[in-house]
């Protein structure tokens, strides 16, 4: 038996070496991981479908490997004959087996990469040729800035604590893999990692091996594709699950690593808990551009859902903090507050919602008294959001909840100050500091929801208003007349319309969205993004509609430039916008502009789009400087290279000089959220990459291209665009080829359910 197993493992090793590229096949760990997963899967396949089908899969596998290695046409013909001889049922099992085996191979590679990286960290080796240009290690970046680039430690610290990276999570219909399957893959990765740990005992190894087989079988038995389309609320829940699993704990863990890295360059000070290093936003339930499933009701639901989730995460954690902060020494400020709360609770004989253990908190434990009040208000905050989400109303008064993050932070800050004043800073810098950092990062809304809508939808609303007022057709007005009228109304106080305004379903949808923004707490929302924005009136229109719908805290308005022509015209459009005095006073010296990678790449090809994006950013920064405005670039990047994907580190460092300056906003598309935040180490690496590269770009910006380089790039871009369009837009056989070479038709069926148009 042992010999047969050895022969089988040797056979698998040989097959894997044929399939894996030469540069990776030299890594024995990867081959070992691959072989183990494949061996376990083949055993499972035999148990489920019998010896014959297992042998068929192995034969297909071996023929594929042989053809890949030698490109012998006979092997390909033999492989084709074998596959076509299968009946329909066996064909499905074989196809699913290979899909599953590819997933397992990817998991093995991910574990191997993590293993390799851990070894490098242990050895302090960051400078290998494959790692240095694509990774951003925070400690190495700080050392490089201080050592090689001669920045003082204090300069680095000041720049770091004032910079902001805002990661915007989006939903994406091409992320068709079910979350339940992704979670099983995560457990396979974890089991495989633990199985090869050095200090593992034989019993542990046996138990982990059994757990690994269970997860492989569970993944194989799970349908890979969603058979019913998820609602936007489902997409939101799926996105928020990453906060539960990795991001929530990942942020304070990462910030502690930043503290350690700072200490190693001589800064004996922690990053302030309210420093905005990492922020999170979302488009899930707010991106209505071309998606009729995202309604005002959906936007309201996802905001309440996120608020409920945030309160629940805090509530589950406050108990641990209460257990930890059992000290009796405190400053006078906290003692007075605790005494007041004790007196008030005695008058209120029923201490609502205290769990049995906390029914009575001893008066000599002031921190617990104060945190008990925080815990109660968190409970009410969560329950009020839950009631509003389920029923549209709640009996819990708003004053018993936290309505803004400042009142949530205040008692926590008091605890922190008191501990420090009593000589207990080491305790203050433990779980309490982590909690403060979480509150500062996630607030009461977990993420801030962006709203995205196309400019023509706003034009339709204003056209209906002007026609109702019998002053003409807004759509037919010139840009100058539109601006004049919009500014006149923005400067006045009279309401533009009442309930008698004739409304189509589309107009009502736009106005109701603004009413939802007005109804909910302002910290639920981030930016209002306008697709296809080409003129100042597009931005002013949103400003006016916010005022008319009684939005007390207007969202910042962000024009989005995507297609090649829009990118070329963007600097002139921004200059016209900044020349409007009313708007310049409104923005208080700050403006955000979003640039799109997907549409520009589809319009002109990857090369030309990348070059035009670069030039557009340079010109936009020049315009902003001319008008004294700090510009934040919002990068709408995707996962694939055609959507701006690529190594994050290089992508940030290659941005034009002066375009980041410590402020970066970028989308994390749904298609890549799993590989960015699916596990703790992936989450850590993602936060590290963005933070370190943003810091390096700000403190050591790249040089601007020389004139001769620009001339050559311009010439190449023209040729590249012509060649790209000659194939994609002019070649009549392109669509046929595209559908044969890609799973577009399969995605098309899925996306049709979503009500979204797929670009071909």
651 is written with which tokens?
């992508």
Whose CA is closest to 684, among 162, 112, 692?
692
Whose CA is closest to 321, among 443, 196, 162, 438?
438
Whose CA is closest to 595, among 577, 575, 576, 621?
621
Residue 682 near residue 676 (C-beta atoms within 8 A): yes
Whose CA is closest to 530, among 453, 422, 640?
453
The CA–CA distances, whole Å, from 735 to 642, 643, 739, 740 equal 17, 19, 6, 9
Cα–Cα distance between 193 and 33 in angstroms, integer?
Answer: 9
Residue 131 near residue 120 (C-beta atoms within 8 A): yes
Cα–Cα distance between 616 and 693 in angstroms, integer?
Answer: 21
Whose CA is closest to 269, among 358, 156, 364?
156
User: Radius of gyration of the chain from Cα atoms?
Assistant: 29
Among the listed residues 602, 649, 661, 697, the single catalytic one is: 602
Q: How many CB atoms lie within 10 A of CB 113?
A: 15
553 catalytic per annotation: no
300 is written with which tokens?
């309201």
Backbone angles phi and psi of 121, in degrees to 5: -65, -40
Angle made by CA atoms 43, 44, 47, in degrees to the nearest 5: 90
Among the listed residues 100, 161, 172, 185, the single catalytic one is: 172
Burial class of 399 by CB neighbour count within 10 A (0 to 12, 13 to 18, 19+): exposed
Token pair 């598309």 is at which residue?
A: 669
Strand 525-531 to strand 556-561: parallel, antiparallel, or no bridges (unpaired)?
A: parallel
Residue 428 near residue 419 (C-beta atoms within 8 A): yes
Cα–Cα distance between 86 and 92 in angstroms, integer?
Answer: 9
Q: How many CB atoms lie within 10 A of CB 447?
A: 28
Cα–Cα distance between 668 and 683 in angstroms, integer?
Answer: 12
Cα–Cα distance between 298 and 757 in angstroms, integer?
Answer: 20
Token pair 């993590």 is at which residue?
A: 114
The CA–CA distances, whole Å, from 177 to 26, 184, 537 equal 31, 12, 41
177 DSSP β-pair partners: 225
Whose CA is closest to 570, among 633, 661, 504?
633
Q: What share of the chain is helix, strand, coil (3-state, %, to 5)?
A: 65, 5, 25
Q: How far is CA 498 from the centre of its chain?
A: 39
Residue 173 near residue 755 (C-beta atoms within 8 A): no
661 catalytic per annotation: no
Token pair 């603004």 is at which residue?
A: 514
Backbone angles phi and psi of 665, in degrees to 5: -130, 130
Residue 282 near residue 310 (C-beta atoms within 8 A): no
Cα–Cα distance between 370 and 338 in angstroms, integer?
Answer: 6
Strand, coil or helix: what is 278?
Answer: strand
* H/E run at residue 528: strand 525-531
Catalytic positions? 172, 602
């Amino acid at each position: 038996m042992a010999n047969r197993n050895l022969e089988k493992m040797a056979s698998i090793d040989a097959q894997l070496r044929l399939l894996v590229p030469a540069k990776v096949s030299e890594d024995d760990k990867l081959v070992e991981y691959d072989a183990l997963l494949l061996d376990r899967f083949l055993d499972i396949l035999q148990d489920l479908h019998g010896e014959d089908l297992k042998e068929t899969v192995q034969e297909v596998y071996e023929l594929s490997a042989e053809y890949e290695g030698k490109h012998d046409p006979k092997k390909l013909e033999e492989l084709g004959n074998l596959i076509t001889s299968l009946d329909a049922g066996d064909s499905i099992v074989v196809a699913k087996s290979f899909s599953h085996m590819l997933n397992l191979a990817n998991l093995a590679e991910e574990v191997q990469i993590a293993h390799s990286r851990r070894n490098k960290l242990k050895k302090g080796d960051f400078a290998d040729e494959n790692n240095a240009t694509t990774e951003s290690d925070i400690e190495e970046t700080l050392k490089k800035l201080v050592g090689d680039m001669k920045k003082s430690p204090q300069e680095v610290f000041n720049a770091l604590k004032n910079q902001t990276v805002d990661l915007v999570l989006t939903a994406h219909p091409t992320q068709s893999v079910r979350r339940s399957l992704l979670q099983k893959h995560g457990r396979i990765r974890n089991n495989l990692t633990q199985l090869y740990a050095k200090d593992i005992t034989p019993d542990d190894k046996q138990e982990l091996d059994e757990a690994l087989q269970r997860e492989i079988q569970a993944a194989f038995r799970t349908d890979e594709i969603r058979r019913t389309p998820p609602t936007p609320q489902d997409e939101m829940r799926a996105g928020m699950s990453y906060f539960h699993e990795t991001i929530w704990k990942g942020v304070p863990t990462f910030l502690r690593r930043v503290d350690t890295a700072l200490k190693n360059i001589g800064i004996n000070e922690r990053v302030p808990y309210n420093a905005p290093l990492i922020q999170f936003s979302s488009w899930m339930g707010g991106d209505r551009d071309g998606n009729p499933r995202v309604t005002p009701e959906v936007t309201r639901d996802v905001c309440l859902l996120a608020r409920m989730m945030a309160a629940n995460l805090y509530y589950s954690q406050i108990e641990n903090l209460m257990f930890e902060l059992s000290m009796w020494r405190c400053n006078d400020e906290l003692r007075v507050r605790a005494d007041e709360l004790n007196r008030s609770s005695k008058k209120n004989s029923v201490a609502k919602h205290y769990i049995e253990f906390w029914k009575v908190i001893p008066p000599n434990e002031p921190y617990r008294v104060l945190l008990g009040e925080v815990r109660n208000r968190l409970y009410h905050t969560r329950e009020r959001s839950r009631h509003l989400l389920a029923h549209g109303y709640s009996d819990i008064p708003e004053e018993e909840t936290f309505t803004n993050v400042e009142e949530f932070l205040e008692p926590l800050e008091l605890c922190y100050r008191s501990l420090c004043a009593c000589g207990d800073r080491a305790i203050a810098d433990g779980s309490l500091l982590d909690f403060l950092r979480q509150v500062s990062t996630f607030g009461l809304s977990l993420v801030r929801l962006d709203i995205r809508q196309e400019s023509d939808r706003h034009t339709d609303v204003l056209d209906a208003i002007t026609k109702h007022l019998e002053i003409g057709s807004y759509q037919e007005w010139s840009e100058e007349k539109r601006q004049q009228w919009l500014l006149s109304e923005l400067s006045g106080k009279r309401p533009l319309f009442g309930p008698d305004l004739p409304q189509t379903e589309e107009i009502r949808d736009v106005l109701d969205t603004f009413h939802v923004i007005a109804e909910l707490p302002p910290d639920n929302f981030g930016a209002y993004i306008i697709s296809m924005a080409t003129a100042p009136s597009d931005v002013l229109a949103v400003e006016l509609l916010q005022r008319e719908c009684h939005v007390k805290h207007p969202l910042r308005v962000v024009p989005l430039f995507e297609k090649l022509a829009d990118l070329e015209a963007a600097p002139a459009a921004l200059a016209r916008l900044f020349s409007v005095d009313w708007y310049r006073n409104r923005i208080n010296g700050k403006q955000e502009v979003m640039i799109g990678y997907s549409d520009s790449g589809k319009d002109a090809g990857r090369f030309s789009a990348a070059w035009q994006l670069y030039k557009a950013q340079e010109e936009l920064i020049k315009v902003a400087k001319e008008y004294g405005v700090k510009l934040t670039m919002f990068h709408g990047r995707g996962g694939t290279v055609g959507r701006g994907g690529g190594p994050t580190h290089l992508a940030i460092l290659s941005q034009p000089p002066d375009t980041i300056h410590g402020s970066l906003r970028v989308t994390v598309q749904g298609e890549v959220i799993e590989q960015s935040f699916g596990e703790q180490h992936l989450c850590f690496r993602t936060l590290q990459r963005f933070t370190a590269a943003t810091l390096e770009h700000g403190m050591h910006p790249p040089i601007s291209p020389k004139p001769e380089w620009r001339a050559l790039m311009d010439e190449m871009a023209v040729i590249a665009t012509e060649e790209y369009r000659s194939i994609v837009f002019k070649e009549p056989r392109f669509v046929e080829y595209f559908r044969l070479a890609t799973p577009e038709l399969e995605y098309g069926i899925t996306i049709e359910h979503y009500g979204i148009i797929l670009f071909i």
